[in-house]
Chain A
Amino acid sequence: MQLRLNPSVKDCQIAALTALAIGIHVLESVLPSPMPGIKPGFANIVTLIAFASYGFEVAAWVSLLRVLVGSLIIGTFLSPTFVLSFSGAVASILMLWVITKWQWLNLSLFGIALLMAMAHMLAQFVVVYWIFIPHSVMLNILPVMLLIAMIFGVLNGIIAQKVNEKLKATC
């Protein structure tokens, strides 16, 4: 008996974008980081483009699948690193969901990226403070982490917007 899979158009979109995001995620893990948790997060650009092109559901699948498969490839599945990545991804997707409910705000990918990055970092901080390092000294590092999240969120937003403009011009 032959197993036949019939992927829909959406399945193909998700698969292609997730593969791209995973590639970027794994390559980025090779880059040295000045501090644990400091990452440019360029794979999130793919999530943003997925959202702009195909909507929230595709973006959510791409983001969560990327974290899952990326952790399997790198070898951090179910480790504290994975817990932090996953909680950050869930928080940023929830933020994206809220943004889709508030379409009247008219946020561009810049603003969306910034909000998602802040949500991501805040969620990671809460998990770290709650589970791993429940010491009040951690609160001193929160503004530094949020500032870095803001900088990289802005950078990713600008890149995503530029790429989205090029995609819309060519397609």
Chain B
Amino acid sequence: MAKLTTADKIVFFVAFCGIAVLFSYLGSSATSDRFVNVKVAGEDRYIVDLHEEKTLILAGELGDSQLQIQQGKIRFIHSPCNTQYCVRSGWLNQTMGLIACLPNKISVHFSEPSNLYDAINF
């Protein structure tokens, strides 16, 4: 094993701790994930705070959809559609950007707009 100086050990320790902090910090939700917009029939209807745990019941075209807010996240738990894609898509996160029950015309997306482009190709 190569000879390590004190400075080497300090640098390694600081780098390791920094990466560990990044792992823990980025796992949790940022402030931009706090509010979501709920659209009914294409119109922004509600702005919901994800820090308040509750169950929302929204009237859509086909009937009532239920949304659950828990631990800073939101998801569909019940919808009157046939396919149930909205329920199966699970918790809303930044990767998908949107959960929606299209037959019932209800959609939920984050209030903070993402950057203009997801990716750029050359």
- Tell me the A residues contacting B by CB distance below 8 Å: 79-80, 105-111, 114-115, 118, 131-137, 139-140, 142-143, 146-147, 150, 154, 157-158, 161-162, 165
Contact = CB atoms under 8 A, between A and B. Distances in A.
B7 A111 contact: yes
Nearest to A140: B26
Contacts of A143: 19, 22-23, 26
Contact of A108 (B3, B22, B115): B3
Of B4, B114, B116, B117, chain A has the most CB atoms within 10 Å of the CB of B4
Contact of A114 (B12, B115, B116, B117): B12
12 contacts: A80-B122, A106-B5, A107-B8, A108-B4, A110-B4, A110-B8, A111-B12, A137-B94, A139-B26, A142-B22, A143-B22, A154-B12
A133 B117 CA distance: 8
A136 to B, nearest CB: 6
Contacts of A118: 15
Given A143-B22, A143-B23, A133 B120 contact: yes
Nearest to B18: A146
A107 B5 contact: yes
Contacts of A140: 26
Interface residues of B, number: 29
B2 A158 contact: yes
Given A106-B7, A142-B22, A133 B119 contact: yes
Interface of B: 1-8, 11-12, 15-16, 18-19, 22-23, 26, 30, 32, 94-95, 114-120, 122
Given A108-B3, A118-B15, A134-B115, 16 more contacts: A107-B11, A108-B5, A110-B12, A111-B11, A114-B15, A115-B11, A133-B119, A135-B114, A135-B119, A143-B23, A146-B15, A146-B18, A150-B15, A150-B16, A150-B19, A162-B2
Contacts of B120: 131-134
Nearest to B20: A143
Contacts of B19: 143, 146-147, 150
A109 B8 CA distance: 9
A29 to B, nearest CB: 20
A95 to B, nearest CB: 11
A107 B117 CA distance: 42
B94 A107 contact: no
Contacts of B5: 106-108, 111
A135 B118 contact: yes
Given A136-B32, A136-B94, A146-B22, A108 B119 contact: no
Nearest to A133: B119
Contacts of A161: 2-3
